[in-house]
A and B are shown apart, each in its own frame.
Chain A
Amino acid sequence: AQSVTQLDSHVSVSEGTPVLLRCNYSSSYSPSLFWYVQHPNKGLQLLLKYTSAATLVKGINGFEAEFKKSETSFHLTKPSAHMSDAAEYFCVVTPRGASGTYKYIFGTGTRLKVLA
């Protein structure tokens, strides 16, 4: 069975400091992994995705994530936080190579607060 755990429900950082949002997954298959961002009163926007081409994935707005199979992790990072990064972030896993059912499995979300 697939599942995803976001280890922090809330993260606060100061503007200009690094961001780390943690995600661990469990998957019976080689997974595809995604990070989505949700700004207040908005829909979900794709930040980046891992599909086995490269373990370090670069996304939009300076975000990147590293797939570590040995640790079953897919943590999201950014070197320097900006006020506009304040939002809720979702880690998502979806089975790859599975037949039949097809599902995007969401973590419970991490709310990022950026302090001036």
Chain B
Amino acid sequence: EAQVTQNPRYLITVTGKKLTVTCSQNMNHEYMSWYRQDPGLGLRQIYYSMNVEVTDKGDVPEGYKVSRKEKRNFPLILESPSPNQTSLYFCASSHREENTEAFFGQGTRLTVV
């Protein structure tokens, strides 16, 4: 089954404790991205990757890191989480061709206390 898999689905952590949210897709998509969803703000892009070893900042990259060592994986790293990073996070992937829709993971609800 074609899917984007995120782990974990839920995470509660403390301020400053490094964490990684994993994202994996099995559709051989070139393009992957991370979004955060906050009430009233919709989804905002954090980082995106056009292909292996190619990453770039989205609209709200501060406090986040990503890597794209393999085509299927695109982990999101929070080196020193803070409470303002409490949010619902989505990973997405798509082909690079124009007009293609993005496929989304089930989301990771992160709480930083």
Contacts and interface: CB of A to CB of B under 8 A. Distances in A.
Q: Does more than half of chain B's interface fall in helix, strand or loop, or is it mixed?
A: strand
Interface of B: 31, 33, 35, 40-45, 48, 50, 56, 58, 90, 92, 96, 98-99, 101-107
Contact of B58 (A43, A96, A97, A103): A103
Interface residues of A, number: 23
B1 to A, nearest CB: 14
A115 to B, nearest CB: 22
A43 B40 contact: no
A96 B107 CA distance: 27
Interface string A53-95: 0000000000000000000000000000000000000100000
B50 A102 contact: yes
A34 B101 contact: yes
B50 to A, nearest CB: 7
